[in-house]
Structure 1
Amino acid sequence: MPQSPSFGILTAPMQVDYHDILRVWREADTIPEIEHAWLFDHLMPIGGDPDGPILEGWTLLSALAGQTERLRLGLLVTSNRFRPPALLAKIATTVDIISGGRLDFGIGVGSRPSHPLARREYAAHGLPFHDSADATAGFDEALTVIRRLWTESEPFDFAGEHVQLTGAFGNPKPVQRPHPPIVIGGRAKATLRVVAEHADVWNIPGGDIADAISRSALLNSYCAEIGRDPATITRSIFLPVAYDHPDTTRHAITEALEAEFTHIVLGLSDPYPDHVARWVADELIIPNTP
């Protein structure tokens, strides 16, 4: 049976302040057609003024979790390069508790080496930037220990090539059981193999529908290799919103739904117009729902 579509918004926390985002999220929280809301995870702007303001994603998400009641919420997506996985598991658990069990745990390998504005934030914050193969292997280990910390009832040790833990234990556990849904973002082949192993939702960050369809088929093949039903992974896509050309965005949504991408994240550019969440529902979501 086809999965019913769900729609959400993304407000990148750069070149804006807290109250700009809070206004949009509070409005969206009152609009049933908008089911989820997202931030991203960067430490320096990747658009606009490179020295402009940007807020840290998880602390902002925690604040927004306490200011909303209904929306599912998350980061699209957390960079696994920024925080040790056991610490990230604790942060995510805290947000799930604050939100009353509304966290969707979005995570990815981390910034593309080809994006200079993303790359610079590592040097600026004293963070290592390993090559893609190394980062992807560490990503798989990180997800393994995060899930164990969320679910296991006794302390454990973990001796991986990239992650080493002694006496690791997560207490309290997330509200959601067995754990918050895991949303993995990315399109690289190595990432899709991790998606097949760990994800509840796969998000592709972009609006090239032909590429999205091709990558979805590749994910299906990786699921088959490990004996997983590919239908157990919800397909998600990020689509930028064109305020001045809503027909363009409506067409992109229609294409995505026809390609069986049922989890739609609509990216809002700043500055956010007054009542933008209501506009998104009326102009973009309702015309694409039965």
Structure 2
Amino acid sequence: MTSRPVRIAVQIQPQHASYDQIRDALRRAEDLGVDVAFNWDHFFPLTGDPDGLHFECWTMLAAWAEQTSRIQLGALVTCNSYRNPDLLADMARTVDHISDGRLILGIGSGWFEKDYDQYGFDFKTAGRRLDDLAAALPRIESRLAALNPPPVGPMPVLIGGGGEKKTLRLVAQHANIWHTFADAEVLEHKVEVLRGHCDAVGRPMDDIEISVGVGGRGRDGGLPGEPGAEGEPLLKLGARLFTIPIAGPEFDLSTVEHWVAWRDRVNA
């Protein structure tokens, strides 16, 4: 089992809030001691008023890179369909320099059909979107290697999703971080599938940090779980990055405080 430390992330949802409120939430999150701040890559709200306030992902990440000094930053996750892969690599490299090497390049195949329809992208099928991601990842890696100057830091690649045949194979081949929303029962199975893909491509499983979404309200509207009760089973299965969603306009960090305190106890 990997000895990497537990880390806490927030996903600051870029919807239903002014940019001043989003910027303040990021400041408070960094002051609280979180390790990573994510946004997401969509063009319209995913919950609440479908025509509510919403902001774009990558221009926001550039601003976050200037605003912060310690935490890592990234999209959870960039939609591969929305940008030319070589352009995305250049964008990521630039934000990495603005942040002095703190960018996580989160990427996935995309899923929100409204984005595609409203912005003129071809939605295709889930399988074809994953095939496009598989073709894009080597292009991104090649462009990053060719850029002058290169990225400042190692720029870890995060891939989100749990598809067992294609997505987890791409994780084994390309990712430094794998993100999932699986509970402990599902995670146990997915980890073994990922381990099989790692074995097949000749890569140590411990090279990949496992990130799990936690701490949000459930589908039934219930309250988030207590960090120890929710986190410990995931921790035993290898999860080390725990990501809590926070929603505007209030961006309440009280749940995040409990997860940060739990992290500190586990890492002590």
- What is the TM-score normalised by the length of structure 1? 0.84
Q: In the alignment, which of 212, 234, 239 is matched to residue 261 of structure 1? A: 239
Q: What runs of 5+ residues in structure 2 fail to find an aligned partner?
A: none
- Contact 1:57–1:75 (CA under 8 A) maintained in structure 2: yes
Code of the aligned partner of 1:133: G
Displacement of 1:262: 0.5
In the aligned structure 1, how far is the partner of 2:224 from the partner of 2:125?
39
Deviation at 1:246, TM superposition (A): 5.5
Match of 1:4 in 2: 5
1:203 to 169, 179, 182: 179
2:202 to 209, 216, 227: 227
Task: Compute the displacement of 1:151 (Å).
Answer: 1.4
Cα gap change, 1:244/1:23 in structure 2, threshold over 3 Å: closer, same or farther? Answer: farther
Q: Which amino acid aligns with 1:223?
A: C
Which of residues 146, 151, 154 is equivalent to 2:145?
A: 151
- How many angstroms apart in 1 are the aligned matches of 2:249 and 2:216? 12
State the one-letter code of the partner of 2:141: R
Report the counterpart of residue 18 of structure 1 in structure 2. 19
- 2:131 is aligned with what amino acid? A
The correspondence for 2:193, drawn from 215, 218, 226, is: 218
Question: How much identity, in percent, do the aligned residues show?
Answer: 30
Greater relative contact order (CA < 8 Å, ≥ 6 in sequence): 2
State the Cα deviation string for residues 21-44 of structure 1 (Å, max 9, x = none).
111111222233x11110011111
Q: For residue 13 of structure 1, give the secondary structure of its aligned residue in structure 2.
A: coil
- Offset at residue 69 of structure 1 (A): 0.7
Mapped to 1, the partners of 2:228 and 2:246 lie a distance apart of 14
Q: Tell me: CA distance 1:245–1:45, structure 2 relative to 1, closer, same or farther (3 Å).
A: closer
Separation of aligned partners in 1, 2:123 and 2:136: 16
In the alignment, the residues of structure 2 paired with residue 106 and residue 58 of structure 1 have an alpha-carbon distance, to the nearest angstrom, of: 11
Q: Is the 8 A contact 1:246 1:284 kept in 2?
A: no
Q: Which moved more, 1:236-245 or 1:183-192?
A: 236-245
Q: Which amino acid aligns with 1:234?
A: E
Identify the match of residue 131 of structure 1 among 125, 142, 146: 125
Residue 8 (structure 1) shift: 1.1
Larger Rg: 1
Equivalent position of 1:156 in the other structure: none
- Corresponding residue for 1:58? 58
3-state SS, counterpart of residue 42 of structure 1:
coil
Q: Answer yes or no: is 1:107 the counterpart of 2:107.
A: yes
Map Cα deviations across residues 95-117 of structure 1 (whole Å, 9 max, x no partner): 10111110011001111xxxxxx
Aligned partners of 1:143, 1:47: CA distance in 2, in Å?
Answer: 29
Deviations 1:64-88 (A, max 9, x none): 1111111100001000011110111
Deviations 1:191-229 (A, max 9, x none): 11111100011011x242211221111000011111111
Retained in 2: the 8 A contact 1:37–1:71?
yes
Aligned: 1:272 with 2:250: yes
> Does the CA-based 8 Å contact 2:215-2:225 persist in structure 1?
no
Alpha-carbon separation, structure 2, partners of 1:256 and 1:27: 26
Distance 1:245 1:124, change over 3 A: closer
Contact 2:41 2:76 in 1 (8 A): yes
Alignment partners' CA distance in 2, 1:87 and 1:131: 23
User: What is the distance in 2 between the residues matched to 1:186 and 1:6?
Assistant: 20
Asked if the contact 1:246–1:283 (Cα under 8 Å) also holds between the matched residues in 2, the reply is no
1:246–1:46 distance in 2 versus 1, CA, 3 Å: closer
Partner SS state of residue 128, structure 2: helix
Q: How far, CA to CA, are the matches of 2:123 and 2:228 in structure 1?
A: 38
Q: Verify: 1:171 aligned to 2:172, yes or no.
A: no
Counterpart residue type for residue 203 of structure 2: R
List aligned pairs for 1:43-122, cutoff 5 A.
43-111=43-111, 118-122=112-116
Show CA shifts across 1:241-272 (max 9, x none): 35994654542222221221001111112333
Superposition RMSD on alpha carbons, in Å? 1.9
